Every structure is written in C-alpha cells, then in structure tokens.
Chain A
Amino acid sequence: MRRRGVTLIELMISLAGTALLSATVLYAYTNAIKVAPAIRKSQETIDADQAFREKVADILGHVYVLNNGANVALAVGGQRTYFTTNPQANNTGLSGGSGAASSPGNSSGSSGTSRNAQLVFTALGEPTSQAALQDASNDFVQQNQTRGPQGGIIEFALELTPVGDAGGKKGIFIREQRPADTDPTSGGYEWLLLPDVDNLMFEFWDGTQWQPGWDTTTQTPIRLPAAVRITYSKSSDTPKVFVVRLPLSDATPANPVTNFGNGMAGGNQ
C-alpha cells in the first residue's frame, strides 16, 4: 500500500497552530519577566509591613509598668519601668490626632502629618532566646558573649529619628535595651524596622477616647492605656493604621484613665 503524506493545508494549519501557541507562551513569558520585579517588590513591601505590624503588636503586647495602680508594695526598687511618648519632657511633636469618636477597633481616622513621634516603654516576658536556652555550653560568660543578656525587663523605643547615626537610612527605627536601665532616652541597639516611612503617630485609648500623649513617669496613679493606635505612611501615601491592645491595662469605659502624665492632659473632644 502506498504511504500517504500530509497535505500542504494540514501542514499550514499545524504550523499556524504552533506559531499561535508559541506567540502566546512568549507573550506570557515576557510579561511575567517584566512584572516579576514589581510583584516581588510589592510582596516584599507587604511582607515588611506585616513583619512590622507583628513585631510592634508583639512588643506592645508585653508592655509592663511596675505599680500599675494596683499594689504600692510592688514599687520597691525604684522607677525602672515606663511608658512614655517623649521622655525628654516636652511632647511638642505630638499635638494630638483626630478620631475621638472612633472606637479602639476602628482603624479609620487620623491623618499622618509629619511628626517626630516616639514611644518608649518597658516590656516584660518576651521569650528568652531559644538559641541561648539550647546552648550546650551552659556557661554564663560565654552565653553573654554569644547571645547577650537574657530575661528580665527590656526597654523598647519606636521612633523616626534614631538616637545614634541613621547612616542615611529613613523609616521607623526600633531601639532595644536589655536589661532596661533607668534612662528612657538612650542605650541598647537600634535598627531600621520599616524603611521609607515619613510619618508616624501614636495615640492612646484611655477607656473612652484617644489621647495624643502618655507619660507614666509623671502620672499618678500609674496606669496604662487600653490600646495604642499606630498611624504611619510615606509622605504621599494614604496613612496605614492599626491598633494594639495592652493586656495589662485596666482602663475601661466604666473606669477610664483621667491623668496621662504632665503636659498630657486634654484629649480629642
């Protein structure tokens, strides 16, 4: 039997199909290559943002202030703990936000105008370094050398302007000092927690409304806000807002905080 070959039309159709398929794949591929960096950058931004929020929620979740209005006998040992928006006396940079009518869970509200906002506080109960706990050497001096001091009260600061040299970097810096000392203005290590942020603002829920400042070092009795609202943005972007509840606060609508420290009185009415 004579073997039959393909006709020209069949060949043309298959060639056209292959060409169409190749063109589609090529188009998709080049497009993917083109947008990949943008997608990666966007994902990195989302990841960095998520990591920033998780870190801030974590450390604020561990805020601890001795003699939190409960037991005066516990205050032996001096004022080593604090929660303050500006340890350098005048909180001129924090003249208050907006959104008095909003509840702690409401993330709408404040606009992020440019401020040199700063929040310094002591935290307790942050997990001890697992690496230090697993260290087989179990030697005090060696562990200090490799892991640094562990346990106890830590001082954290969140701010746009670091205490040390920013090294040309811009954004929200975190400062961590373990153990905390009596000085809330400096000490410890600091690094850039979230880059490219121009505006940062902290507000504090006293039980009924948001307050622009808080300073337990001059507060009587010492009480923590029920929650902290953090607003941040790049200069041209829409501000991002999130709220973190402080587990050790006893402020409620029925029992709100009325004294926020020297120069901190007066909220958003």
Chain B
Amino acid sequence: MKKIFSRLICMIACLLFYQLTQAQNPPVTVEGNIRDAQKQPLIGVTISIKGKNTGTQSDANGHFKLKVKDAPNAVLVFTYVGFTSYEEPLKGRAIVSVILEEDRKKLEEIVVVGYGAQKKKDVTGAISSVGTKAIQDVPVTNPQQALQGRAPGVEVINNSSKPGDEPQVRIRGSRSLSAGNDPLYVVDGIPYAGNLSDIGTGVIQSMDILKDASATAIYGSRGANGVVLITTQRGKVGKPVISYSGSYGVVKQLGETDMMNASKYIEMRREANRTGGKYDDNDQDGSDKKIFNATEYANIKKGTDVDWQSLMLSPGYQNNHALSIAGGTEKTKYTVGFGYFKDQGVLKLQSYERYNINIGLDQQIGDRVRVGASLLGSYSLRNGETYNGIDNALKMLPIAAPYDDKGNLITFPTGDSQQPNPLLDYVNNNRVELMKRFRIFASLFAEVEIMDGLKYRLNVGPDIQNYNYGLFQGKNNTNLLIGGGDATASKGNAQTLAYTVENVVTYNKTFKKHTIGATGLYSVQRQNVDISTTNVRGIPVETQQYYNLGQALNVTGVTSSLSSWTILSYMGRLNYGYDDRYLLTLTMRADGSSRFAPGKKWGYFPSIAAAWNMTSESWLKDNHILDNLKLRASYGRIGNTGINPYATQGVLTRIPYSFSNKGALGFVPGDLRNPNLTWETTTSADIGVDFGLFNGRVTGVVEWYNQRTTDLLMPLLLPYSNGFNQVLANLGTSRNRGWEVGLGGTVIDNPKGFSWKMDLNYFRNRSEILSIGGGRTEDIGNGWFVGQPTYVYYDYKKIGIWQDGDAALAAKYKAKPGEIRLEDENNDGVIDAKDRQILGSPQPKWSAGTTQRFSYKGWELSIVAFARMGSTIKSDFYQNYNTLFGRYNNLNIDYNTSKNPTNDFPRPNVNQERPNNYQSLAYFDGSFFKIRNINLAYAFPDAWVKNMHMADLRVNVGVKQPLILAPYRQTWKGVDPEDVNVIGIDAPATWMLQFGINAKF
C-alpha cells in the first residue's frame, strides 16, 4: 500500500509542473441573467469556464458576475441540477444571458457514490436514489421509513408501531446467518452506527442506496449488506431563506384485536368445562356457580361486559415542527435548522420526543481551498420502550369490572392473582420508564485543489453519544403484582465515542476522448463504548423511582463493560471513460479490523464494473424514441465484519458461587479461541440496463444479480465433553439471487394543467443456504436448512381439528376429538419430532411499490403504496390469546365443539393451559397490499404568496396507512400483517390523519 501512495505523490508532482508552464490572457468581467423556460430566475446555477477551474453561482435574482481570463476564446458552461447543461462561447462579450432547459432525462443529475459524487450517466454501479420530494411525501419518524416502497431491492419492514422503534432494512435480502444483515449507513461521508432516529428526517436531502459489488466494494468489509448514503441539507447561494414546516396528526389504532365479549367468553368457559366434564347442562345455574367464582358470577348477573382494550387505548398524536434558515454567498453557504418531533402512542405510557439541531457550513478560502462542516445534534426522550400493557388488557376477562363502587381500581378484578388490573400501570407512577439519549454527530472537511483536477480532502467525523435509562416498577405495577414482590428499579448509562478520519485524494482529467478519475483513500475509524447498569429491589419510598438506588434494600445486579474496535482502510478507485460511450470502474479496498486475530486482520475487496452508453453510439444517436440506453455489469467481493470485538480472545465466563453465605468469584473457561476467524465474503455479480424513452418521459432500470456469500460466520458446535459448547467459525455458504425493475414515467404532462406521474418498482429475491459446514444439511436448533431461505418456520403442521367421528383414529395419535390435528408427515402413525416440517419463510415471493402523483395547478395528490406477496408470518396473537381454557379472555375465533365441527380452532378445555400443539395455530399467509399514505397538498398562487411577503406557502392533509388488504386482516381478523418475522404484541398498529403547513420567507 505504501508503494502505491508514493507513486501517486510522484504523479501529482509531475502534473503540477506541467500546469505551471501554461500561459494565460488578461481577465475581463462578464455578467448576465439566467432564467428557465417560464422566465423565472434560476438561483444557484454554476457558471464555469470550460477547461478551467474558476467559476461562480447565480444569485437570488438569477444574476451572475465572473472574471474571465482569455475572454475571446473562453466558453462559459452553465450547469444546474435538473436542467440540461449549456455551453456558450464568449467571443469577447461582457454580457451573456441564457435560458436553461429542463432536463427530463436527468442524466446530468448528480448521484452520491461512496467517497464522491458522479453524474448519473457516468455511474457504473447499481444505485437507487430517493430525493427530498419522496422523503417529504410521507410522514415518517425515522429515515428508514422514507425508503419503504421507494426503491427496488430495498425492503423496509416496520417492527411495531411503538413510538421510537426503528424498522428493519434489508437490501437484496438476507445473506448472513449470525453476523447481521443490516446495511451500512453513511451520513455526509461518515459511517453512522446506532439509532438513525437521531437524525431528524427534515434534515435529509437525499438518500442513495448502493447495491452491487462495484458500488459497495469501496466500503470493503462492511459493504456486503448494501450501503445507504444519507446527505443532509446544505446552504445555497442567495439571500437568507427562512423555512418552516409543521404538522399535527391524530393517531388511532388500526382496529381493535377481536377478543370475545362477555357472552361469547361465558359460553367459551362453559364449553371448556363441558369438555372437562365439569359442566352439567341440566343444571346451568348450579354449574355456573361452580365454574365462575363469586365475583365473576355476580358480574355476570349484573351484565358486566368490559372492553378492556378500549380502556387502555386513547388517541395519540404526532407533532412535528422544523425551522431552518439557509442562504449564502459565493464564498460562504450556511444552513441552520431546529426540529421538534413528538410521537405519542395510543398506549399512554409509550411516547417518543426528539429535539434536533443541524448546522451546515461551507466556506471557500481563496480559489483552491474549501472547508465545511455539518453538525447534527439530537436529544430524545423515549417512554415505555419495553412496556407492553396491552397484553394484560387482552387477557383480562370481559366479565371483570375495572372499578369498584367507589370508583377505585380493583387490583385483581377477577380475584385471579395472575390477572392484575392493567389500568394500574397508568396511575400513581406505578411504572416509569424513560430513555434519554443525546448525540452529536459531525462531519468536518477541508478540501484543497492542489492543481486542476487534483484534490485532496480531509474528512473528520466525531460522534458522541450518551444515554441515560431508568426503569421503575412500583409494588402495584402489573408485573410485580403477578409475581409478588417489592418495588424494583434499574438505571443504565452508556457513552459512545467514535471518530472517523479520512484522507481522500482525487484526480479527474479529460484528455480528448478519455476521461480519467482516480480516488485514493486512507481512513481510520474507531469506536469506544462504555456501559453500566444497576438493578435494585426494595425501593423504600416509591416516589424515589430510580433516582436513589443507594437506598434500596438489595442490589440485584451490577454490570459494566468497555468495548472498542478499530478499522483501518486503504482504498483506490479508478474510473475510466472513453467518448462517453464506454465506462470502466476498478476498485480495491483493504480493511484491517481489530476484531480478528493477528495475521488475519487484513482483508482485500476488489471489484470491477463496466458500462456501455449505447445511446452515445452513432447508430443510436439520431433515433427519437430512445434517449438513454446503458448496459452495466459488475463483479466483485465485499465483506461482513459481523463479529463482536474480542471474539478471538478466549474469554472466561464468570459464574458466581458462595461459601459460608458469602459471594465467591468463580471463572470457568467460556469462549474458545479461534485464531482463524475471518470475514464473511460476498461475491456479487450484477447486470443492469438503464433506459429512457421519449425525451425522458419514461425512465427505467432492470437488474439481475447473483450473490454468493462464503465463510459464513456460524457457531461450530462442539461435543461438550471437551469443555466447550461452540466456537465461532467460518463455515457456511449462502446465495441471494434476484431481479429488480424500476420504472418512472409521466403519463400526462401538462405543466399548466393536469399531470400525472408515477414511479413503480418490483423486485424478487431468493435467499438460500447452500451449506452450513461439517457436512450437515440441517441445524434444527438454529432453524438452518440447506436449500432453504436463511429464516424459515420449522414446526408441526395443523391440518384441521379432530372431529368426533374420527375419535378412533385420533386415539391412535394419542389425541382426542376437538384437539388440533397435525400432519403425520412421515406417515409412521406417530406424531413426533420427525413430523416437523418447513412451513414457510418470511421472505416474500415478490415485493413492489409505487408512487402516484397527480397535479393540477396548485394542487397535488400523491399516493404511496407497496405490497409484499407470498411470505409466511407467525402471529403471537394467535398463540398467546388462544389458550381456550377459560382462565383468560380469548380471540373471538370459531372454535370446535360437538355441535360445531369446524376445522379452524380447537375445542376449549378447562384441563389445559393451552391447546396441545397451540404453536401450529400461529402461521399465516403474510401477503399484504398497503396504501402507506395519501397526501393532498395545495400551493398558494405566487401572487397571493408575494402579497403576504412570503416566498412559498403550502398546506397539506395526509392519511397514513388508510388501507391494508391482507388475508391475515380480512380473513383472520388480525390487525396488521407487517412485522419482522413474528407479529409481536407490543403496541397496537395505528393509522394517522395529519395536517401540515410549509412556509418559506
């Protein structure tokens, strides 16, 4: 590596001397105005002199002034995002005014790539971009949500509706079994770890998703799961613009979970006792008195019928405000923004609140030096991160009364000590849980243009994170009421300090038809995490909450840890273009990671990509239909570091023991050293076609890829008799293959009247485990099977309910009528572990998303929708609330009885805690189609706005999640089929009606 850099420096020096020998003419000042086709001034257009490095930008009135040396021969180049670049030979004039044409082909559009930016037409890799407009179309609480349904190959699945939760993002599927499948996030050039929620979504200008080996290989050991580049807002030339945007939304649950009401519950409990032989239908009242306790019986007589869910839920809201000031001169550009966001969930104890500040600064020093900074600061408060109050409410009997005659909460409304009143969590601070997070993330840079085309850039990115977590559970908290016990509290603190330092040298030069771009990088990234937690029991006075742990009766646990890692990297990239027709990109990255053993620390990740701009060929140049056709192919290797620090170190496990009732410290050998651990390596091939038709009216991309991940990090399970359970090793292989299609088009185009634009994306990915090492074809404990996706459901399969008529056959299977009938998969007459089978996978057969945008004069209607088809999902609801023995309330399902021979759900039975094989009830078709958002916006007419002394004013109204079509919802009365692998019970799924305003001054 050292050699390469010394050569590079040699080259730089030679070029410098070449430059010094060039002669130049005396300068002239040129000025003029720049407008668009509608005669509106264009602000911030870059005006440069062809072949020279000097240039300027147009001001707020579209005016520019520029000193030009050698004026007679100079050519001015006008470039502006979204417009066709335009060249005007000066021919000695001092005033030049131009009109720029909008570029619908967008080939001049700048795409952010790793360590730099490229024009879209020069890109050789597979990159999807999501711009400001799309990000602001949908009310989102974190950046990941803005990607949902927007880009082919990018799958975003919400984990829950809990305020503050972040969704799962997968780019081209999952490949790793145990080393993680999350993409790498890079914010303003600096790798970003941890909660993306810390970034206010209003701060984001664009997100670019790197998908293939060519695009991601420059991130080497961390690129295997794809890379998401996030660019934040920067100031623009012009007078200060003050922008305000605000919105308020009412949040409500998408629908209550369909539980039994009093009469259905009472009948189910009777049926459960009937099955158990404890209900005499000839003496109903007498039997009721036996099977219901006195309280329950009295409530039934009173006609008590309580909907506990509705008692627990109340409408939440989302409140969002952002204020920013941006502006700048040619030399200095700035933006300063403040944000406030609050998401109050429908469960009172769950909320998320965030304060944001962002500062962006760019300063030109002289002709050749540029420095700048962006700073993102956030402070957030999250309540009820682990709270799950809806669980007790769903289980609570509808025949139980929440309040006594005096209006006080009844602690155990049914007398059952396992069923405390869920409303108790809401009163007297019985449960307090607060996570306070503070973060400053900065990206600072200095860039020097050493000579034309040669730049050196230094990026420094410090990142400081801090959290302070407290959980207090009073004696009358439902958790403690169930177990019995004294008030508990815990407190946790963590500090993360990280920094990235990057040295980037770039060189760009055009010689006749040859374009060369070279990038060299040396970087260091380091992170240090320091965590501590304390748990106590027996808080003397409950108002102390978690603020005075020292006065508690017992300390039940204390932990702390320090963990740090370093990555050192060298990267080189060479872009070569010939005549705008042939493009070639070569990259090589070398990463050194502290996590691996000496001798195994360095990994090398090369890639190659080529592209052919077919429309630049003479034989296509003159056609009037096709205005862009580019063929791309790439091949390369990328890695996944994916192991925790210290995995190669032979760490001892502390197991406590005691002598004479006094604690004693015991250490046993816990982790075995594996000095051969290395990266998971993904070898990826990608072929893509970009095309544009009818002067950019239709654009699209089609891609095929094949990724093979080898050296999968997996536990190698050892015979325990040698003292160890397992050791992490590089064992398996997996594959991801898929297709992606993206289409964008303007269906109706009438800038003054009605227009209709749409974006569509469709993709399918097949992940498959090819081997898991050791000659095994399955690892049942981990649920890994060769030939299957990386995550599958392996369980017994329910094929119905044993009916009364089948009693004899049922008995052979040791089952009784009314119980779940499982498939005897191997037909051996016994249901045992061998009858478990693969029931499905959360991986969809295909996914698709669309954005439809209709506009008419100032009105714009946008609809964002997406679909995931052919996945299987597991629902905790159908497992936890289907106990069918009468102790708890139940989902309102169609259960089997002697008189109702349904095959859907088993017969209630008082002699069980759950139906036998209840797990088999939880699997569903996870397919769904969702309209994520419908938004209607109105922009006030310019004249009216001007009268109000404003630059822009828009109002909008939106509905989030207005429609879900899914078998799980429509057929099985579930609420929301969208969840990561298992539909969990934490916060009810919600929809929202939101009103917003955007103003610029």
Partners in one complex: no
Residues of chain A having any CB pair with chain B under 8 Å: none
